[in-house]
Structure 1
Amino acid sequence: MTSIALQAGSNELETWLDTHAEAIDTEQELASEILPRLGRAGVFRIGVPTNLGGTDGTIGDAIEAVAKVAEHSLAAAFVFWGQRTFIEYLLQSSNETLRTRWLAPLLSGELAGATGLSNAMKYLSAIEPLQMKARPLDSTGAHARWTLDGGLPWITNLRPEGFVAAAAFDHHAAEDDQVPPSIFAIPHDGAGVVRSPDLDLIALRSSNTAALHVGGTVLDDTYLITADAPAWLAVVRPSFLGLQCGMSIGLARRCLAAVGEAGAGSRAAVEDEAAHLARELDGLTRRLKDGVGNGTFISEPAALFEIRIALADVVEKAVGLEIQVVGGRGYLRGQSGTARRTREAAFVPIVTPSLVQLKNQLAQHRKALAA
């Protein structure tokens, strides 16, 4: 198994994840420990400038870090994705106040960051309308204020001990006032902010995934991530999806490693398929990191969608090969991680944006090009 080998404390993290991966996936008792352990290993600082508290590197390095955690636990990598993506939002925001207020505790894992922008990403692709509304308030001070209302049914990393969540809001304004949707950072202790109990998931149960509702919550512009959600989302979407793809990369690698660890007879039966998948995975990973790093996917999102779909296909095939070579042992509790990785792989097609949504987007894109 590939070592995380990222920061001081990463060996301890790797050991803890391997020991508790099954419980992290099927139970909720360890949910509160994941974020602090990731923080102590320093993984949230990767790809963040040193002058902001990071360890430098690129967004490609951050994608690789998510992948390495996913080799041990997809649930932990899911939490990592949510946290690091929210950190990326603050890095990409022009609001210096947000970084001053929250970046340090986010990097250390003291505070949870929840992306909350799955609805917004689907809105950007014309898949669904925004589910949150903002109404302007008369401001008597130096800062503009809004009243926020609405709900999101599924957000990961809503840590009960403390979180801040990003959400996009449509604006109630005069008909002649074409105000674009905006994105706010919603603190867990804001008036009218309500977190549901954890959703009853079949796996990834320690990911602190819940619904979020805001009712009459008043925030000022110091909580504003961006005033122009469509333009800003197009820029940040490659990081959002790129970091998310890190989960698929890591899971596929671990499944292929399990194939390599199988007995000689079983391994020989599938070695050509496994070698082909490994080459495909390496190629997709390079294309992903290159495209996110050089900005290609900002103007060519379809290319990123294609990579996300292809990675999901690699995951499906890789876990299938692992099932074949492990055989009946995979059906015995505690004998292998095969059953857990099968559950993890089942999540890859449905994490937002789902494969169905992306395939529909690509179909529309190709239809438009043909026209």
Structure 2
Amino acid sequence: MTAAPVHILPADLAAWLDAHAEAIDANAQHDNHAGEIVPRLARAGLFRVGVAPALGGAGGTTVDAIEAIAAVARLSLASAFVFWGQRTFVEYLLQSDNAALRARWLPPLLAGERAGATGLSNAMKYLSAIEPLQMRAAPLDADATRFALDGALPWITNLRREGFLVAAAFDRHDGAPPAIFAVPHDAPGVTRGDDLDLIALRGSNTAALTLANTELDAGWQIAADTHAFLARARPAFLGLQCGMSIGLARRALESVDTSSPAVRAALADDAAALRRELDALTTRLYEGVTSGAFVAQPAAQFEVRIGLADVVAGAARLDVQAAGGRGYLRSPDAQRGANDTARRSREAAFVPIVTPTLVQLKNQLAQHRRGEAA
């Protein structure tokens, strides 16, 4: 297939991201840029990419949305991480059978008036038999029209204090399959913790969430069967996530192109090899997402995600080599490009640990191969 065209950001958004990427990454507690990310991405129409016009979107495909996330990740991985959370929640509504929930909440999510957070990393690990569900739903009536929700999730991104919805999977107490609910920030019993003290991506509004006897009715249910829903949604979940790696790797490799002729000559072969691998993996990703092959063959997408993380690591190393000693300076007088190199190194260190982590994916691939061998 032909890859989607590279997404071009509006000039004003690109300039804002470029100017504030360092502050968003490292100094969230000392500025207010974190609260601006969702509204600015929304004004640029980015949450509407890959959403049908009939639903208020700009049209296009999931692949176009991945490219839009990659475009943001070129300039700020923290902002792309927020973008991924918002757009993934939108994807859950698009794939949900709950038309009323979609009609109510899709417009404010696309407009950036409400943040969408995916608390389904735990559920994705549950789907792969890595860990049990950490949330519980107890029906409050015989017809299971109302539920009491309890539990805690230690790490969720895009929990904007201005207001959010979070998707989470809940084990049912009545023997029914686990269900996925959209939980509003202002429901009784919902507590958002302080921002996690991250070493990077500090402006991503990442915090823990606790629910204590939070009562919601079935109208908030995204899916009645977590297994079936996540099997369908996982390719988009991981595909949109891969956009972060694609954009970061592209930008790190571009830094080699802007270095001195001697540096470019020394790193040219390594950079060319990484570009070929990046292009090949991106093509595989887009083919699998578009064809739907990853629904039945999740291991194939796991391999792409692992491969992209390896490319990011290699590209970040070349970025550091191209910057040389100036990339290790931290003074306010350090050159802007050097500061960007240091930030990209921090961003690259995050790629292997975003859920599902590379360790988890490699364990899943090993189990898959053992099953094939048996």
Asked if Structure 1 and Structure 2 have the same fold, meaning a TM-score greater than 0.5 normalized by the shorter chain, the answer is yes
The reply to whether residue 313 of structure 1 matches residue 313 of structure 2 is no
Partner residue in 1 for 2:103:
100
Q: Which amino acid aligns with 2:155?
A: W
RMSD between superposed Cα atoms in Å: 1.3
Task: Please state how far the C-alpha of 1:3 moved relative to its aligned partner.
Answer: 8.6
Task: Please state how far the C-alpha of 1:170 moved relative to its aligned partner.
Answer: 0.3
The reply to whether residue 329 of structure 1 matches residue 330 of structure 2 is no
1:175-216: CA deviation from partner (whole Å, max 9, x where unpaired): xxx411000000000010110010010110000000001100
Residues 139 and 145, structure 1, Cα contact 8 Å, conserved in 2: no
Separation of aligned partners in 2, 1:198 and 1:327: 33
Residues 6 and 67, structure 2, Cα contact 8 Å, conserved in 1: no
Partner residue in 2 for 1:19:
19
1:66-115: CA deviation from partner (whole Å, max 9, x where unpaired): 00100000000000000000000000001011111110110011110000
Partner residue in 2 for 1:236:
233
Gaps of 5+ in 2: none
Task: Please state how far the C-alpha of 1:123 moved relative to its aligned partner.
Answer: 0.1
Separation of aligned partners in 2, 1:51 and 1:4: 22
Partner residue in 1 for 2:44:
41
The one of 258, 263, 287 aligned to 1:266:
263
Partner residue in 2 for 1:120:
123
Residues 238 and 292, structure 1, Cα contact 8 Å, conserved in 2: yes
The reply to whether residue 366 of structure 1 matches residue 366 of structure 2 is no
| Change beyond 3 A, Cα 1:54–1:22 | same
1:136-178: CA deviation from partner (whole Å, max 9, x where unpaired): 01169xx8111100010000000000000000000111xxxx4
Residues 4 and 69, structure 1, Cα contact 8 Å, conserved in 2: no
Q: Which amino acid aligns with 1:227?
A: A
Equivalence map 1:159-178=2 (5 Å): 159-173=160-174, 178=175
4+ residue runs of structure 1 moved beyond 4 angstroms? Answer: none
Task: Please state how far the C-alpha of 1:332 moved relative to its aligned partner.
Answer: 2.2
Task: Please state how far the C-alpha of 1:32 moved relative to its aligned partner.
Answer: 0.4
The reply to whether residue 145 of structure 1 matches residue 146 of structure 2 is yes
Separation of aligned partners in 2, 1:252 and 1:224: 37
User: Matched residue pairs, number?
Assistant: 361
Task: Please state how far the C-alpha of 1:4 moved relative to its aligned partner.
Answer: 5.0
Q: Which amino acid aligns with 1:21?
A: A
Separation of aligned partners in 2, 1:115 and 1:302: 22
The reply to whether residue 296 of structure 1 matches residue 299 of structure 2 is no
Q: Which amino acid aligns with 1:314?
A: V
Partner residue in 1 for 2:61:
58
Q: Which amino acid aligns with 2:167?
A: A
Separation of aligned partners in 2, 1:108 and 1:47: 14
Task: Please state how far the C-alpha of 1:5 moved relative to its aligned partner.
Answer: 2.3
Separation of aligned partners in 2, 1:294 and 1:218: 39
Q: Which amino acid aligns with 2:19?
A: T
Q: Which amino acid aligns with 1:14?
A: A
Q: Which amino acid aligns with 1:107?
A: L
2:169 is paired with a residue of what secondary structure? strand
1:315-357: CA deviation from partner (whole Å, max 9, x where unpaired): 0000101111110111123422100000000000000000000
How many percent identity over aligned positions? 66
1:252-303: CA deviation from partner (whole Å, max 9, x where unpaired): 0000000011000011001011011101101111110110111000000000
Partner residue in 1 for 2:282:
285
1:111-143: CA deviation from partner (whole Å, max 9, x where unpaired): 100000000000000000000000001169xx8
